[in-house]
Structure 1
Amino acid sequence: MKHIAKYFFSICLMLAIMISAAIATAKNTEKDIDDDYSADYYSDEGKLLFKVRGYGIASNAKQKGLPKSSVAAPASTNPFVENGYGGDTATTIFFNDNMAAELSLGFGVLNTKYSTLNNVAHNYGGQNTAGKKKKIYMVPLTGTAQYHIAPYGAIRPYVGAGYHGAYLFTKAKEFKIKNGHGAVLQIGVDFVAKDDTFINVDIRKYFLKAKVTYKGALVKNATNISSTAKIDPLVVSAGIGFKL
């Protein structure tokens, strides 16, 4: 978890520097200059931006609430989920120069930690899993309200906050997982290019809990072996956008 926190801090520091540069640039930019890099790109209310992004997922998911183990020396059942990857599409609508709302739909893949599943089997007298990581698929629908700090010039940072619902499923025979939802925090920047296109870099912190129920030979077909997994993924995205 420490390396994730350091990674997140480094990215936030980099974006903070970009925000400072963008604000300085915006103060020296005239709105009536007819140039792709310095024009008021968001000058008309209701303008839409469409984005396509790929992303990496950082998670160190902990699970709580498992029943007492049936062995004398139980093994650790954390972390439950490792890192993953995915992508999304997003549409942003501007209400004025600074205020906007974004709606995104994504698809992500998370890997469960192989040793953790085997530790669950050890703790409850079940059979070890096959030697493959089990995947969890995540389909988050996310809505955020955004404040664009410096909506002029070539570098245009923003911050946002909102809520999401995530459809979660797995093909694994050893467990099942329920859907989840929660708050989202967001920070990002648009790098404006020519012809109404831009490069988008975006970081979102999802607060996501989900119920995990173990089944089958992993837990000797017990029916009450379940936990709450605090997944809370950090999603780092990069992609291309278009003004519609």
Structure 2
Amino acid sequence: MFKRRNTINTLAALAALFATTASVAVLGSAHAADLGATPAPVFKAPAPVEEFNPWMIRVRVLAVMPEDGGSVNGVPGSDLSYSDSVVPELDITYFFTKNWAAELILGVTPHDIDGAGSLSGLGKIGEVWLLPPTLTLQYHFTDFGAFKPYVGAGINYTFFFDQQADAADSLDVKDTWGWALQVGFDYMLDEHWGINVDLKKLFLQPDFDVTVAGTALTGTADLNPWILGVGVTYKF
């Protein structure tokens, strides 16, 4: 009987000790939480990198305005004048970086050639179509938000075709190289679409052969046109 009582007392003491230990552990955990235990770090995926697309195209309306000037060899006081022209044009731009790009313009333009100076009595000498592909290297400024100005310089090779003589018996304007300067801007309406204004100066002075009243002559046409374009930009 005495042994049974001792056993019961021992079990009760062990139970009390276990309960006390559990209570201390719970209170310790709560106290640690109150002290602001550091939570486990949460993994955050990096922001996606925006893909850079180098291609841009523009569709513009061009006003091609040649300077009047030129001469026929051996004819004192000879001069020439040329008509202006308004034509559509497509250009393709490739960006090597966000600042540096190359632009190629494609379009054709018709012009009349008139006598001036001592040749003014001839009136319209003839007419000719020009295909003046022009390649420029551009620098684009990127610090003005939606307004993106640029400058450029490059080369031009002009093809003359569909040439027709009027007062002259025959006319042959020679294909030629020239230099080009450029300034312009794009105003971007959103990520892809924008408005473009562009001004180019071509230094273009082709030689020509002309026959007037059976006399074969040569000369130089000082075209040197200004080219003003307004159009729509699309950035891929």
* TM norm structure 1: 0.67
Instruction: Report SS of the residue matched to 2:78.
Output: coil
Which of the numbers 204, 210, 214 marks the counterpart of 1:214?
A: 210
Give aligned-pair identity as a percent: 26
Q: Which residue of 1 aligns with 2:164?
A: 171
Q: Which residue of 2 aligns with 1:25?
A: none
Q: Which has the larger radius of gyration?
A: 2
Greater CA drift, 173-182 or 139-148: 173-182
Matched, 1:79 2:72: no
Greater CA drift, 200-209 or 46-55: 46-55
Matches within 5 A, 1:1-244: 44-64=51-71, 66-68=73-75, 76-113=77-114, 115-116=115-116, 119-120=118-119, 128=122, 134-150=126-142, 153-169=145-161, 170-173=163-166, 174=168, 175-194=171-190, 196-215=192-211, 219-223=212-216, 225-244=217-236
Structure 1 pair 204/105, CA: closer, same or farther in 2 (3 Å)? same
Structure 1 pair 102/44, CA: closer, same or farther in 2 (3 Å)? farther
Deviation at 1:135, TM superposition (A): 2.6
Count of residues in correspondence between the two structures: 183
| Mapped contact 1:60–1:79 kept (Cα < 8 A) | no
| Mapped contact 2:148–2:187 kept (Cα < 8 A) | yes
Deviation at 1:66, TM superposition (A): 1.4
The whole-number CA distance in structure 2 between the counterparts of 1:184 and 1:171 is 27
Q: Where do 5+ consecutive residues of structure 1 fail to align?
A: 1-42, 70-75, 123-127
The whole-number CA distance in structure 2 between the counterparts of 1:98 and 1:44 is 16
Deviation at 1:133, TM superposition (A): 7.6
AA aligned to 1:79 is L
Deviation at 1:183, TM superposition (A): 0.7
Instruction: Report SS of the residue matched to 1:116.
Output: strand
AA aligned to 2:230 is A
Greater CA drift, 95-104 or 188-197: 188-197
Deviations 1:137-160 (A, max 9, x none): 110111110000226521100000
Q: Where do 5+ consecutive residues of structure 2 fail to align?
A: 1-49
Between the two structures, name the one with larger relative contact order (CA 8 Å, sep ≥ 6): 1
Deviation at 1:61, TM superposition (A): 3.0
The whole-number CA distance in structure 2 between the counterparts of 1:121 and 1:188 is 37
The whole-number CA distance in structure 2 between the counterparts of 1:161 and 1:44 is 28
The whole-number CA distance in structure 2 between the counterparts of 1:107 and 1:68 is 31
Structure 1 pair 162/45, CA: closer, same or farther in 2 (3 Å)? farther
Runs of 4+ in 1 over 4 A off after TM superposition: 43-46
The whole-number CA distance in structure 2 between the counterparts of 1:157 and 1:121 is 42
AA aligned to 1:120 is L
The whole-number CA distance in structure 2 between the counterparts of 1:87 and 1:211 is 26
The whole-number CA distance in structure 2 between the counterparts of 1:133 and 1:82 is 12
| Mapped contact 1:46–1:95 kept (Cα < 8 A) | no
Instruction: Report SS of the residue matched to 2:164.
Output: coil
Instruction: Report SS of the residue matched to 1:78.
Output: strand
Q: Which residue of 2 aligns with 1:32?
A: none
Q: Greater share of strand residues, 1 or 2?
A: 2
Instruction: Report SS of the residue matched to 1:182.
Output: strand
